[in-house]
């Protein structure tokens, strides 16, 4: 999965939580701390219901969940995971992906809220995507570039 995040033609450093860093290991540190969990699959009830907001930040349980999601995503060779894909009904997701310019993006967000982006600021990209909770099939998807959203990290930092 490719994700565009503006013009990165000059700066190809890894982005962690959206900020460029000078160095980053091949495996995100969370992978080494986490345990691999079972990935839920289409048809399971947890994938059909709304997830709860994260209300307690900075807890060992939330940190463990983020670490486990990174480890699970790494083993599954995914681009990212939502918490309900590891059977936890929280509004939390993580990503570790490389965009079309070869820039790696790594991070996690809790309680994301999408904001409306004016039509003149949007463009559509078409790319293949799959879902770890729907094993096997992939397909072409159209998506808007540069979505605008607000969220928090596991320590409640706003992003």
Digit-coded pLDDT (tens) for 107-135: 999 998 877 778 787 777 788 888 999 99
What are 54-68's pLDDT values in tens digits?
Answer: 999 999 999 999 999
16 and 24 Cβ atoms separated by less than 8 Å: yes
pLDDT of residue 146: 62
Label residue 157 left, alpha or beta by phi (over 0 means left) and psi (-120 to 50 means alpha): beta
What is the pTM (predicted TM-score) of this model? 0.85
**Residue 63: CB partners within 8 Å, gap ≥ 6?**
154
The Cα-based distances of 131 to 73, 75, 80 in angstroms read 11, 14, 9
pLDDT at 9 over 60: no
Phi, psi of 71 (to 5 degrees): -65, -45
pLDDT tens digit sequence for 35-84: 999 999 999 999 999 999 999 999 999 999 999 999 999 999 999 999 99
């Amino acid at each position: 999965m490719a994700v565009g995040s503006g013009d990165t033609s000059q700066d190809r450093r890894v982005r962690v939580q959206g900020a460029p860093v000078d160095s980053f290991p091949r495996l995100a540190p969370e992978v080494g701390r986490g345990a691999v969990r079972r990935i839920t699959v289409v048809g399971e009830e947890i994938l059909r219901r709304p997830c709860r907001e994260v209300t307690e930040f900075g807890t060992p349980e939330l940190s463990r969940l983020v670490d486990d999601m990174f480890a699970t995503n790494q083993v599954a060779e995914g681009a990212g995971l939502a918490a309900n894909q590891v059977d936890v009904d929280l509004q939390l997701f993580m990503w570790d992906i490389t965009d079309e310019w070869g820039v790696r993006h790594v991070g996690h967000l809790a309680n994301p809220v999408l904001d409306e982006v004016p039509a003149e600021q949007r463009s559509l990209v078409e790319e293949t995507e799959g879902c770890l909770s729907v094993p096997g099939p992939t397909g072409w998807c159209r998506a808007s570039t540069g979505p605008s959203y607000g969220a928090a990290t596991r320590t409640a930092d706003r992003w």
